[in-house]
Each structure stands twice: as structure tokens, then as C-alpha cells.
Amino acid sequence: MKRAVYSGLVSGLMITLLAGCAQVSVRPVDDITPLTNTYWMLQEVAGQSVPANMQPKPSLLMADDGNVYGNTGCNEIQGRYQVATTQVRFTAMSATRKFCQNNSIEQPFLQALEDAAGVTLDGDTMILREADATALATFKAAKRNR
């Protein structure tokens, strides 16, 4: 009996101590969008909005292993990326070479990836930035089906 009471007291004390050490988040978990393993849909690049009817949608996916995959709205792209705090760098980028009629997004998108030096995340928005913090491209996280 004493052992059960003692064990219960120790368990209660441990739970109280652990709860006191826990960090409290004021943001719901669904509002936090991770940089990696999220499909980022391009919204704007070089001051130009992506047409709503553009198919396929220009996008990026940065995998945990440092690989990046995407689509320019016509061509598939892939390469590598490195992130350190708010800095980002895309390297070894390659693309398929399909003929893309009326795609005014592709070249500015590829240039934004080449020029990117920083990244900002805010909720479901990712902004690639130049070294001077000028916005290059704005993305929104794709909605996930649950």
C-alpha cells in the first residue's frame, strides 16, 4: 500500500515538473507550416502574379534530404538546397526543356531560385528573398486533404 501511494506521489510530481517545463504555443498546430515536405505553390514572382488558370501550377517541394523538386508551370525542375536559419541557397538546378508557349512565369521563377539568399516563413506563406531582403517570389502552402 505504501509503495502504491509513494509511486503515485512520484508520478504526480514528475507530471507537474514536466508540465512546468513545457513550452506553450499560442498558435494552433495547423497554422505552422514547415519549410520542408510542404508543397509550395508560387503566387508571385518578380512582381508578376501567377495566372489563376495556369496548369500545372508552378511549385516547389524541399525534401528533408536537401533535394528540391518543382514545376515552372511547364517544365519539371530539381536540384539541391541548403538552409541555415533564414538563409537559403539553391544549387545544381536542372530543368526539362519542353517548349512552353505563353509561359511568362518560367524564366523569372528560375531566376528567383538562382538569386535567392534568404527565406521568410509566415504561417502558410514562404517568401524567397535576395541578400538585401528584397522579395523575389511568394509561395503559399498547398492545402492538404485530410
* pLDDT score for 31: 61
Residue 103 has pLDDT above 90, yes or no: no
**Contact criterion met (CB below 8 Å) for 122 and 32:** no
The residue ranking higher by pLDDT, 145 or 118, is: 118
Quote the CA–CA distance of 122 and 42 in Å, as a whole number: 15
For the chain, counts of helices (H) and of strands (E): 2, 9
* pLDDT score for 51: 93
Query: Mean pLDDT across the stretch 94-113?
Result: 92
The residue ranking higher by pLDDT, 34 or 8, is: 34
Per-domain residue ranges of the chain: 27-141
Residue 121 has pLDDT above 50, yes or no: yes
Query: Mean pLDDT across the stretch 50-61?
Result: 93
Distances from the Cα of 3 to the Cα of 11, 14, 17, 36, angstroms: 12, 16, 21, 48
| Phi, psi angle pair for 41, to nearest 5° | -95, 125
Distances from the Cα of 60 to the Cα of 14, 67, 95, 102, 104, angstroms: 44, 11, 13, 21, 17
CA 31: distance to chain centroid?
13
The residue ranking higher by pLDDT, 145 or 120, is: 120
**Contact criterion met (CB below 8 Å) for 97 and 134:** no
- CATH assignment, 27-141: 2.40.128.270
* pLDDT score for 100: 83
Positive or negative, the CA dihedral 31, 32, 37, 43 is positive
Residue 66 has pLDDT above 70, yes or no: yes
